[in-house]
Chain A
Amino acid sequence: MNIADVYKAETVKECIKLLAKHKETKIISGGTDLVIKLNEGQIEGISLVDISSIKELNFVKIEGNTIHIGSNSTFSDVLNHKSIFPKSIKGFVEALESVGSPQIRNAGTIGGNICNGSPAADSIPPLIVLGAKLTIISKKRERIVDIEDFFLGKGKVDLGSNELLKSISFDIPNEDSKLNFYKYSYRNALSITLGSVAALIDIQNNIVQDIKIATGGFSAYCIREREMEELMIGKELNEENLNYLLNSAKKIVQKRIETFPNDFKVLKNITIEGALRHVIR
């Protein structure tokens, strides 16, 4: 392992000062992804800014109709607040509960999950369908980005080296909507996600009034699946319409992974079909 310098930030102000002053830095909090990469030598020679002690970024609060989560909140910290979350975001809670293991949930943070930009990040598909907004701060300015626009490529996100993700905010969906989440992995605990789908869905008299779908593991990063959504909006929720969606979804996914090995394609076919079936209800 090769790390240049280590800086500890106790406050947001300290952190953005450090980020502005030192180049080639990476932020570390829970470390559940970064330390593996450092240990395996995938990342070398950088400096680390440790934000794990910044308490002001560890919060979960509901203001009016909006939920705000500090980026430094661990998955367990957020789940400790689940009793105050409305039923309409059940799928978000389930996604967090499905993360890794108790040890990973005690260390890993929601901000880290987002900023890593992993295609398999469990918290992101639910946050995309919730229309979450990210508040990002640097020494010079503060800006707000739609989470959907934050991802630029596998492991690439719209976050400058001088910037820090402060918080994640989303509005509580209306009472008629429900957020469903389903993920495929080889086992219940300690497993990387093979594919996950979140759907925020409003069904009235068996007609899909509105639906937002986001997937993880079916693209280079977690994305909103507008093409899939359009196939269901205004449609009756019956076997015929659902089958049409599932077949189209498989085609949409297959187009993205044309050059991949066959067994990978088969796996993605099974997981997109199964996961969609679980969430569209």
Chain B
Amino acid sequence: MNIQTVINGKKISVNVKNDMRLLDFLRDELELTGTKEGCSEGECGACTVLIDGSPVNSCLVMAFQIDGKEVVTIEALDEDGNLNIIKDTFLEEGAPQCGFCMPGMVLSAKGLLDQNSNPTRSDVKEAISGNLCRCTGYTTIEDAILKSAKKLGGKNG
């Protein structure tokens, strides 16, 4: 099926196989391997991307379904630079250890901060409740998201 879509700000028209998930399309066809495959059943959040601004599991979306929609992956250098600020802040706070969950975590964080510039810690916990991390625990990740909010202009920090 031929689809028109926008990936990381770039408009593309491409043929996708009927039996390809968005996750496989991103990794195998577009070579955007920042998006990770974890559980393949929507329980770990490692494959989280933004579709039209909302975090979703790319392992549960078929590639043909992004026709007419906009996808943001961890590789995006978004126009307003928010994603880069979040990435840098995650590093500053020592949030990543093995790093496998990070692309999904960062995109869930972006999904939250684009909607809510002043999140509380409880908002942050809710926003990353679909992303599992088995290394650091979640405190440094929450700290990084709260600090990102502050840097991006929110007041609570």
Binding site for A on B (CB under 8 A): 1, 18-21, 40-45, 48, 51, 54-57, 59-62, 64-65, 67-68, 108, 111, 126-127, 129-132
Q: Digit string of A164-197 for contact with B (CB within 8 Å is 1, else 0)? A: 0000000000000000000000001110000000
A28 CA / B18 CA spacing, docked (Å)? 13
B54 with A6: CB separation less than 8 A: no
B64 with A50: CB separation less than 8 A: yes
B56 with A107: CB separation less than 8 A: yes
A39 CA / B40 CA spacing, docked (Å)? 8
Contacts A8-B1, A32-B57 supplied; 20 other A-B pairs, CB < 8 Å: A1-B21, A2-B19, A4-B18, A6-B62, A30-B60, A31-B62, A31-B65, A36-B42, A36-B60, A39-B21, A48-B62, A53-B68, A100-B130, A101-B129, A102-B126, A102-B130, A104-B57, A104-B60, A107-B57, A190-B43
Would you mind naming 8 contact pairs between A and B with Cβ atoms under 8 Å apart? A32-B42, A35-B61, A39-B21, A39-B40, A104-B57, A106-B56, A107-B51, A107-B56
Query: Smallest distance from the beta carbon of B64 to chain A beta carbons, Å?
Result: 5
B64 with A32: CB separation less than 8 A: no
A52 CA / B129 CA spacing, docked (Å)? 24
B130 with A28: CB separation less than 8 A: no
Q: Does A66 contact B (CB under 8 A)?
A: no
Contact of B42 among A8, A38, A48, A100 (CB under 8 A): A100
Query: Smallest distance from the beta carbon of B122 to chain A beta carbons, Å?
Result: 12
A195 CA / B137 CA spacing, docked (Å)? 29
B54 with A8: CB separation less than 8 A: no
A190 CA / B65 CA spacing, docked (Å)? 23
A102 with B127: CB separation less than 8 A: yes
A189 with B18: CB separation less than 8 A: no
Q: Does A24 contact B (CB under 8 A)?
A: no
A58 CA / B41 CA spacing, docked (Å)? 25
Binding site for B on A (CB under 8 A): 1-6, 8, 28, 30-32, 35-36, 38-39, 48, 50, 52-53, 76, 100-104, 106-107, 188-190
Residues of A within 8 Å of B43, CB to CB, are: 190
Known contacts A100-B42, A107-B57; A1 and B67 CB within 8 A of each other: no
A100 CA / B48 CA spacing, docked (Å)? 14
Residues of A within 8 Å of B54, CB to CB, are: 76, 106
Query: Smallest distance from the beta carbon of B141 to chain A beta carbons, Å?
Result: 14
B19 with A103: CB separation less than 8 A: no
B19 with A1: CB separation less than 8 A: yes
Known contacts A28-B62, A35-B21; A103 and B56 CB within 8 A of each other: yes
A52 with B65: CB separation less than 8 A: yes
Query: Smallest distance from the beta carbon of A54 to chain B beta carbons, Å?
Result: 12
Among the interface residues B19, B45, B55, B60, which one has the most CB atoms of the partner chain A within 10 A?
Answer: B60
A31 with B60: CB separation less than 8 A: yes
B42 with A3: CB separation less than 8 A: no
Nearest residue (CB) in B for A35 is B60
Known contacts A6-B18, A190-B43; A101 and B130 CB within 8 A of each other: yes
Residues of A within 8 Å of B131, CB to CB, are: 101
Residues of B within 8 Å of A190, CB to CB, are: 43-45, 129-130, 132
A86 CA / B108 CA spacing, docked (Å)? 30
Nearest residue (CB) in A for B40 is A39
Residues of B within 8 Å of A106, CB to CB, are: 51, 54-56
Residues of B within 8 Å of A6, CB to CB, are: 1, 18, 62, 64
A188 CA / B138 CA spacing, docked (Å)? 15
Nearest residue (CB) in B for A8 is B67
A102 with B129: CB separation less than 8 A: yes
A104 CA / B41 CA spacing, docked (Å)? 10
A102 CA / B142 CA spacing, docked (Å)? 16
Nearest residue (CB) in A for B41 is A36
A103 with B55: CB separation less than 8 A: yes
Residues of B within 8 Å of A189, CB to CB, are: 129-130
Query: Smallest distance from the beta carbon of B69 to chain A beta carbons, Å?
Result: 8
